[in-house]
């Protein structure tokens, strides 16, 4: 989603702002821009499309100035054109914005009635005019921003530049994250610590409603009631060097390959190998008293939650409700006080999930959060924080964050089961053993990469693809279909294998590849029957199973992908690998933009 960088610097900033924007590319965007103040005037360069276009603009017409703001825009209001690209500016101010100003229509009409002229269709431009109006009336930058912020409804992170004050920037946050970075004689604003990583590691996270005035050497933060406040300065763990593709062609490939290591890293926090026990961080409630779990997430994180539903109910016998976050609040769910509400998110900033979390909190739920960014809003609002240790995930399509989520959720399932008296010490030891085996099994799964690459053409020409799975492999079918459609733009659907005959089987012909995810085990025979129903109708099947499964049912399949034989508990972690690799190689074969697929954003901070 949109990204922000601001620098109050010692030297020219345009190059560094552009570099910072490159680090924000992974969030997804469709236009970009930079503004600086130089010689008593605000200067802007903006461009539609990729950053290369903006870089060309800057080459043709360099942008001097030691203070500036920059933005990557993911269009919400108004098409992704240059006119709609940020920064938006008047003569007096320029600003960049993440989020949505919900009451912009009313504000815009008001401003037009007062004679102001708009250059874009964005919601953001109203803020530039409102602040500008106050400046033109003689207000200081601080006064202007303080007066305007309460008028804005919705979600925003803002960075504002003032023509007549080439020594300060003002930032504000409500609903969208914003950080302050402290440098050596320079100060920065950024939409996340990653954006600022090459500039500084010293970061303060603004709280909801905060706004901040930064100069080269200071940052004065105010809360939503305009009281001066201190926010702790932390040393961010992300280094500038961490974010490269290594030997891989895409971040997504690198992240798929990192999985054995980051899953092992994550499991280390949740398994006590010596004692053969699973463990969670300290909590001030009794897990054994939890009578119902409500899981809420979006996209791939939702599918991790769906796998967890199978585990929680099977191992702990605790009933689980699960919702996509965008539906949760609005259906007004019945939540018994004291229930456990579990939110799963890579970014910890997804607007729908965050709003759902706050809704659940207001309904007296205990809030547990499985999250990859430990400084995110969700992490900070949790009663029980369950971090994944996947490291920064740059590819828009989630891979390593997903398998790390599964690792944490498996450990949580075992903890819940133990707390409920449903897990003997021997069973717990077995779970610890199986989970510890997962990274090695994922490595084995990765060794089939070349085979999967070689068969990608079987799928790359399809218009539609179906994925089938049963039990915890059903969410894997959903995840497989999501991965394929988001990066290769091929229409794909995941179905519970048994559900095929209730409708989707009508789609089967020899042009629709059907990917069947079926490790051998208790549900295998049933899935194979569904697979045979597909084959009987001319369907072309790719079977992903272990040697035993392939020996039993591989004949007649268009292709098979062999996975190691694993315990059903860790099968979703292992089978995620071929599903990701297949989507990846199909996308590469089609020549799509794998790391930044069209229309998608990494962290969806608008509803
Ligand atoms: C798919 C994908 C998205 C995210 C979803 C939730 O590959 O990445 O579906 O899973 O936008 O994002 P987080 O996990 O950051 O809340």
- Looking at residue 84, its pLDDT comes to 92
Write the DSSP symbol of residue 580.
H
CA dihedral angle for residue 588, residue 49, residue 6, residue 602, rounded to 10 degrees: -40
Integer Cα distance of 286 and 271 in angstroms: 19
150-160 pLDDT, tens digit each = 999 988 999 99
- Looking at residue 241, its pLDDT comes to 54
Q: Running along the chain, 607 residues long, what does each successive block of 10 average in pLDDT?
A: 92 95 82 96 95 95 97 84 94 94 94 95 95 98 97 94 97 92 96 88 93 97 97 80 77 95 94 91 89 96 98 95 94 90 95 95 96 90 95 92 98 95 94 95 96 95 95 97 96 95 88 95 92 91 97 95 94 98 97 85 72
Position in ligand 1 atom list of the atom nearest CA 601: 11
Integer Cα distance of 571 and 42 in angstroms: 57
Class of domain 3-242: alpha beta
- Looking at residue 332, its pLDDT comes to 87
- Looking at residue 242, its pLDDT comes to 53
Say if CB 583 and CB 513 are below 8 A apart.
Answer: no
Pick the residue whose CA is nearest to atom 7 on ligand 1: 397
Our answer on whether the CB atom of 353 is closer than 6 Å to any ligand 1 atom is: yes
Our answer on whether the CB atom of 604 is closer than 6 Å to any ligand 1 atom is: yes
For residue 8, list its beta bridge partners. 67, 187
Our answer on whether the CB atom of 580 is closer than 6 Å to any ligand 1 atom is: no
431 C-alpha to ligand 1 centroid (Å): 28
Quote the tokens at residue 297: 């997430």
Pick the residue whose CA is nearest to atom 10 on ligand 1: 300
285 C-alpha to ligand 1 centroid (Å): 29
55 C-alpha to ligand 1 centroid (Å): 29
Our answer on whether the CB atom of 120 is closer than 6 Å to any ligand 1 atom is: no
298 C-alpha to ligand 1 centroid (Å): 6
Q: Do domains 3-242 and 447-596 have the same CATH topology?
A: no
Packing angle of the helix pair 571-590, 425-446 (nearest 10 deg) = 20
157 cis-preceded (ω within 30 degrees of 0): no
426 C-alpha to ligand 1 centroid (Å): 36
Integer Cα distance of 578 and 576 in angstroms: 6
- Mutational pocket test of ligand 1: of 177, 300, 596, the residue with most ligand atoms within 8 Å of the beta carbon: 300
Our answer on whether the CB atom of 304 is closer than 6 Å to any ligand 1 atom is: no
Give Cα separations from 22 to 413, 581, 588 (angstroms): 39, 26, 22
436-458 pLDDT, tens digit each = 999 999 999 999 999 999 999 99
For residue 445, list its beta bridge partners. none
204 C-alpha to ligand 1 centroid (Å): 25
Integer Cα distance of 523 and 531 in angstroms: 12
Our answer on whether the CB atom of 346 is closer than 6 Å to any ligand 1 atom is: yes
Our answer on whether the CB atom of 28 is closer than 6 Å to any ligand 1 atom is: no
Pick the residue whose CA is nearest to atom 16 on ligand 1: 345
How do the domains of the chain map onto residue ranges? Answer: 3-242, 245-446, 447-596
Our answer on whether the CB atom of 486 is closer than 6 Å to any ligand 1 atom is: yes
227-256 pLDDT, tens digit each = 999 999 998 776 665 567 878 999 999 999
Strand order in the sheet with 491-496: 491-496, 464-469, 513-517, 540-546, 559-563
Position in ligand 1 atom list of the atom nearest CA 297: 16
Q: What are phi and psi of 503, to 5 degrees?
A: 160, -65
Q: Which residues are catalytic?
A: 2, 602
Our answer on whether the CB atom of 373 is closer than 6 Å to any ligand 1 atom is: no
Our answer on whether the CB atom of 372 is closer than 6 Å to any ligand 1 atom is: no
Integer Cα distance of 214 and 204 in angstroms: 12
Q: Which CATH superfamily is domain 447-596 in?
A: Glucose-6-phosphate isomerase like protein; domain 1 (3.40.50.10490)
- DSSP strand pairing (464-469 vs 513-517): parallel
- Mutational pocket test of ligand 1: of 250, 302, 346, 379, the residue with most ligand atoms within 8 Å of the beta carbon: 346
Determine whether domain 245-446 maps to CATH 3.40.50.10490.
Answer: yes
531 C-alpha to ligand 1 centroid (Å): 29
User: pTM (2 decimals)?
Assistant: 0.81
Quote the tokens at residue 540: 């072309």
Pick the residue whose CA is nearest to atom 11 on ligand 1: 299
303 C-alpha to ligand 1 centroid (Å): 10
Integer Cα distance of 224 and 209 in angstroms: 4
């Amino acid at each position: 989603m949109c990204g922000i960088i601001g620098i109050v610097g010692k030297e020219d900033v345009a190059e560094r702002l552009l570099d910072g924007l490159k680090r924000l590319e992974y969030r997804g965007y469709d236009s970009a821009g930079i503004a600086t103040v130089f010689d008593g005037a605000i200067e802007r360069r903006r461009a539609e499309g990729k950053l290369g276009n903006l870089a060309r603009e800057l080459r043709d017409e360099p942008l001097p100035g030691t203070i500036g703001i920059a933005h990557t825009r993911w269009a919400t209001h108004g098409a992704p054109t240059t006119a709609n690209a940020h920064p938006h500016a008047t003569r007096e101010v320029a600003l960049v914005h993440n989020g949505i100003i919900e009451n912009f229509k009313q504000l815009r009409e008001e401003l037009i009635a007062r004679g102001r002229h708009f250059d874009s269709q964005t919601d953001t431009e109203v803020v530039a005019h409102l602040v500008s109006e106050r400046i033109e009336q003689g207000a200081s930058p601080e006064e202007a921003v303080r007066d305007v912020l309460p008028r804005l409804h919705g979600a925003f992170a803002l960075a504002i530049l003032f023509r007549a004050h080439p020594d300060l920037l003002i930032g504000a946050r409500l609903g969208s994250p914003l950080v302050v970075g402290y440098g050596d004689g320079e100060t920065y604003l950024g939409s996340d610590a990653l954006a600022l990583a090459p500039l500084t590691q010293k970061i303060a996270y603004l709280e909801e409603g905060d706004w901040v005035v930064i100069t080269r050497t200071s940052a004065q933060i105010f809360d939503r009631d305009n009281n001066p406040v201190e926010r702790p300065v932390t040393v961010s763990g992300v280094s500038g060097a961490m974010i490269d593709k290594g030997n891989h062609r895409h971040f997504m490939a690198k992240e798929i390959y990192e999985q054995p290591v980051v899953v092992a890293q994550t499991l280390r926090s949740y398994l006590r190998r010596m004692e053969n026990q699973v463990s969670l961080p300290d909590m001030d409630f009794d897990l054994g008293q939890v009578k119902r779990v409500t899981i809420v997430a979006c996209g791939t994180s939702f599918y991790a939650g769906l796998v967890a539903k199978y585990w929680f109910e099977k191992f702990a016998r605790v009933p689980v409700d699960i919702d996509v976050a965008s539906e949760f609040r609005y259906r007004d769910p019945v939540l018994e006080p004291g229930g456990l509400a579990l939110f799963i998110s890579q970014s910890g900033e997804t607007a729908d999930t965050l709003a759902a979390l706050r809704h659940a909190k207001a309904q007296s739920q205990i809030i547990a959060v499985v999250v990859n960014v430990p400084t995110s809003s969700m992490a900070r609002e949790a009663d029980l924080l369950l971090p994944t240790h996947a490291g920064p995930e740059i590819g828009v399509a989630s891979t390593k964050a997903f398998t790390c989520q599964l690792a944490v959720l498996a450990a949580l399932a075992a903890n819940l089961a133990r707390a409920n008296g449903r897990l003997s010490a021997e069973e717990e030891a077995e779970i610890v053993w199986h989970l510890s085996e997962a990274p090695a099994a994922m490595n084995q799964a990765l060794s089939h990469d070349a085979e999967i690459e070689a068969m990608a053409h079987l799928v790359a020409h399809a218009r539609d693809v179906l994925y089938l799975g049963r039990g915890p492999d059903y969410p894997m079918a959903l995840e497989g279909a999501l991965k394929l459609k988001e990066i290769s733009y091929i229409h794909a659907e995941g179905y519970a294998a048994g559900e095929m005959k209730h409708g989707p089987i009508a789609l089967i012909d020899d042009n629709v590849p059907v990917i069947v995810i079926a490790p051998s085990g208790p549900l295998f025979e049933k899935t194979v029957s569904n697979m045979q129903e597909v084959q009987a109708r001319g369907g072309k099947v790719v079977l992903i199973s272990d040697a035993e499964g392939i020996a039993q049912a591989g004949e007649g399949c268009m292709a098979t992908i062999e996975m190691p034989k694993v315990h059903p508990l860790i099968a979703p972690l292992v089978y995620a690998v071929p599903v990701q690799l297949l989507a990846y190689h199909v996308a590469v074969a089609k020549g799509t933009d794998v790391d930044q697929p069209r229309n998608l954003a990494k962290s969806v901070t608008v509803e």
